[in-house]
Amino acid sequence: MGMSNTMQAVMLNDYNGGAGIRYGKVAIPAIQKDEVLIKVHTASINPADLLFMNGTYGIKRELPCVAGMEGCGTVVATGSSVVARMLKGKRVAFVSESYGSWAEYTKASAMTCMVLPDHVSDEQGAVFFVNPASALAMIRIAKKLKSRAIVQTAGASALGKVLVKLGEAHDIPIISIVRKDEHVELLRSLGGVHIVNSQSDGFAEALARLCSQLGATVCFDAVGGALTGTVLSAMPDGSTLYQYGLLSGGATTVQADDLVFRRKRIVGFWASDWVKTQSIFELLSLQAEMKKWIGSRIQTEISQTFPLQQAAEALDQYQRQMTAGKVLLRP
């Protein structure tokens, strides 16, 4: 291939958060037949990466490993499978759960790569999968459960913003729960209509009113802790709350009568797992829809881009101001 067999990468040495990372040289990964080798243009930092670096995500890799999961790049080599070979030379958005994305090169399964339309920038490509795919999955789940609206906690997060836009497109009202007045303003400016501040007086009553008016029987909760029980109690009988994040860091608490007499339920939702339960046909239709919205409805705010060797500063910046937008790394 006329290139050296080593590269620069951000390595995680131990599951100790940002303290466990270092920047240095590592071998370029070898690929299997259904994998592709990608020259990384940009990689993103997501909440899942923070969990991963602390050892609390649903996946662990053998240490030391390359950190990160999502990004955008050009396929420079492929395995022998047909799906992999079709990607040769193409610019793709990818998820690399098994290897890691904060490096000059990475490898990913051909099935978790999506060829990007020319009008989509590298920056938007790097944040193409995790949030948009999760948001579309949420819309599909809500439709399947015949919920007329969706309740979303961490409403001002990158995913929360995408969901507001997609709700508009699908004619499903989104009830966004935020915790600051400026988040209320922010979502209004994006076209959000139903926004409730969990820190305000009468929050539970306001939420209950909205849920009942709009017919919201599905919630996607990224926070956990005490908020989960409050939200579940405000929802109509027979509602389902999907817990997909643990931003509060606390144990989720719920009222027993919500589960027993009011037939409500709490279910875990992890996009990586959900994708595995979908047929190839459903995944292709998901990809087609993502391509349709990217760059128009789905526009993720990027707050800053750092060179790869400044990953520690980038992480720091991202954790300080998560709602300001995504922080990207560029090899």
How distant, in Å, are the alpha carbons of 133, 143, 148, 174 from that of 192? 20, 20, 16, 8
Sheet strands (E) in 33-156:
35-44, 65-66, 70-78, 91-95, 105-109, 113-115, 149-152
C-beta separation of 284 from 259 below 8 A: no
In single-letter form, the type of residue at position 279 comes to S
| Dihedrals phi, psi of 185, to nearest 5 degrees | -60, -45
Q: How far apart are CA 240 and CA 242, in angstroms?
A: 6
Strand order from edge to edge, sheet including 240-243: 194-197, 174-178, 149-152, 216-221, 240-243, 265-268
Q: How far apart are CA 74 and CA 193, in angstroms?
A: 39
For residue 262, the tally of other CB atoms under 10 A from its CB is 15
Assigned token pair, 124: 């938007």
**Chain center to CA of 317:** 18
Is the peptide bond prior to 307 cis by the omega test (within 30 degrees of 0)? no
Q: So what's the pLDDT on residue 295?
A: 63
Chain segment 221-265, per-residue pLDDT in tens: 999 999 999 999 999 999 999 999 888 878 999 999 999 999 999
CA separation for the pair 231, 208 (Å, rounded): 8
* pLDDT 10s digits, 265-286: 999 998 888 887 888 788 878 8
Cβ atoms of 213 and 205 closer than 8 Å: no
**Does the pLDDT at position 168 exceed 70?**
yes
When the pLDDT of each residue in the chain is averaged and rounded to a whole number, the result is: 92
The per-residue pLDDT for 260 is 96
Strand partners, 35: 109
Rounded to whole angstroms, how far apart are CA atoms 98 and 217? Answer: 35
* Inter-helix orientation angle 226-234/203-214, to 10°: 50
Q: For the whole model, what pTM was predicted?
A: 0.85
CATH class of 6-127+300-330: alpha beta
131-273: CATH superfamily: NAD(P)-binding Rossmann-like Domain (3.40.50.720)
- Specify the pairing of strand 35-44 against strand 70-78: antiparallel
DSSP state of 236: P
Distance of alpha carbon 25 from alpha carbon 144, whole angstroms: 47
> So where are the chain's domains?
6-127+300-330, 131-273
- Low-confidence winner among 98-102, 108-112, 166-170, 294-298 (lowest mean pLDDT): 294-298
**Whole-number percent of the chain with pLDDT over 90:** 73
Question: Is the bond into 64 cis (omega within 30 degrees of 0)?
Answer: yes
* pLDDT digits 0-9 by tens, 33-78: 999 999 999 999 998 899 999 999 989 999 999 999 999 999 999 9
In this model, does residue 173 exceed pLDDT 80?
Answer: yes
